[in-house]
Amino acid sequence: MKVGRFKQWAAGIAAMALPVLAFAQAADPKPWQLNMGRGVTAQSVNAYEAHMLALWICVVIGILVFGAMAVAMFKFRHSKGAVPDKDFTHSTKLEVIWTVVPVVLLVLMAFPATSKLIKMYDTRESKMTVKVTGFQWMWKYEYLGENVSFTSRLDRKSDEIRQSGVDARTANRPHYLLEVDNVLVLPTDTKIRFVITADDVIHAWWVPALGWKQDAIPGIVNEAWTEIKQPGIYRGQCAELCGKDHGFMPIVVKAVPKAEFQQWLAAEKAKNAPAAAPATPAAAPAEPAPAEAAPTEATNTDAAAAVATAG
Ligand SMILES: [Cu+2]
């Protein structure tokens, strides 16, 4: 009987602990993911480690407190002949302990958290700057000093599905509402500074795999930085309730090795520099030529220009 009950408890505790133990999360959040993701930047790993430190401290405190409660409830109960101590009022020693221990724990957690936060806001020695501007309801990206800029908005297919009224789960769109027409291409292993603002209302630029979110506020320029360690596609969303289409201004970052980024940038510059004016309205849907430089996402400026002129 006793063993059976212990097994039940053990199974329950194991079930609660399992999601916590599932550390190695992928870069992008997954449906039903319970723990925070590790991300792909030093900052996201810092945040993850601070979170895990606090989590494990909470787990230990939880076990001690609930364990003490369980012992008190099961061992010292009326049916076992326990008699309440009617003279007990307080214990100075205990009160000192349960004041000092939490203070010490908080101070211990504050030291690593503060040094991580200071690093997070240090944008010095960045190698390039991207200006991010939030609009209702899209993002504009400018590679400062490079003469490359474009807008990035919800992909047409997601937009069609959401406006068609069909159940999106039946529409077979893998990254429904998390796909854009023009992705933000960034180099890996490069400290990139972001200056972030907005044109109309407050938005917030958030890609979980990068480890931070930053408000985009009209009239104010906020700063952030990133250094992406591994190539890949990382998705995010506007994280500030910014109007009726707040849920439809996703962010897609494509991190590529430095050399590939330079090729992409050169191709973008070449597109922007000569004779950009007459080509824009009709060029977007057809776009035959520029496929060789960066096969997947080479459509950036054409579509961007079309979007810019349309909206
Ligand atoms: Cu927004």
Q: With contact defined as beta carbons under 8 Å apart, do 224 and 212 qualify?
A: yes
Grade residue 138 by pLDDT with cuts at 50, 70 and 90: very high
Bigger pLDDT: 297 vs 130: 130
Helices (H), the chain: 2-21, 42-75, 92-120, 156-164, 258-272, 280-286, 300-310
Distance in angstroms (rounded) separating the CA atoms of residues 252 and 195:
17
CA of 239 to the centre of ligand 1 (A): 7
Calculate the average pLDDT of the chain. 83
pLDDT reported for residue 274: 64
CA of 247 to the centre of ligand 1 (A): 8
Res 234 pLDDT > 70 = yes
pLDDT reported for residue 28: 75
Bigger pLDDT: 23 vs 17: 17
Please state, in angstroms and as integers, the Cα–Cα distance from residue 132 to each residue in 91, 163, 184, 217, following that order. 58, 27, 10, 11
pLDDT reported for residue 301: 44
CA of 272 to the centre of ligand 1 (A): 27
- The predicted-structure confidence for 191-201, as pLDDT tens digits, reads as follows 999 999 999 99
CA of 294 to the centre of ligand 1 (A): 29
CA of 242 to the centre of ligand 1 (A): 5
CA of 103 to the centre of ligand 1 (A): 39
As a whole number, mean pLDDT of residues 6-20 equals 50
CA of 133 to the centre of ligand 1 (A): 10
- The predicted-structure confidence for 245-272, as pLDDT tens digits, reads as follows 999 999 999 999 999 999 999 999 988 7
Grade residue 295 by pLDDT with cuts at 50, 70 and 90: very low
pLDDT reported for residue 31: 80
pLDDT reported for residue 86: 85
CA of 217 to the centre of ligand 1 (A): 10
CA of 96 to the centre of ligand 1 (A): 48
Grade residue 164 by pLDDT with cuts at 50, 70 and 90: confident
pLDDT reported for residue 84: 85
CA of 42 to the centre of ligand 1 (A): 26
CA of 203 to the centre of ligand 1 (A): 4
Res 309 pLDDT > 90 = no
Grade residue 5 by pLDDT with cuts at 50, 70 and 90: low
* Cβ neighbours around 250 below 10 Å, total: 24
As a whole number, mean pLDDT of residues 78-106 equals 90
Q: With contact defined as beta carbons under 8 Å apart, do 260 and 294 qualify?
A: yes
CA of 201 to the centre of ligand 1 (A): 8
**pTM, entire model:** 0.72
pLDDT reported for residue 1: 41
- The predicted-structure confidence for 41-81, as pLDDT tens digits, reads as follows 999 999 999 999 999 999 999 999 999 999 999 999 989 88
CA of 286 to the centre of ligand 1 (A): 30
Return all residues near 197 (Cβ < 8 A) that are at least 6 apart: 131, 132, 133, 134, 216, 217, 218, 219, 220, 221, 222
CA of 300 to the centre of ligand 1 (A): 21
CA of 277 to the centre of ligand 1 (A): 30
pLDDT reported for residue 279: 46
Q: With contact defined as beta carbons under 8 Å apart, do 130 and 186 qualify?
A: yes
Q: With contact defined as beta carbons under 8 Å apart, do 153 and 181 qualify?
A: yes
Sign of CA dihedral 193, 198, 204, 208: negative
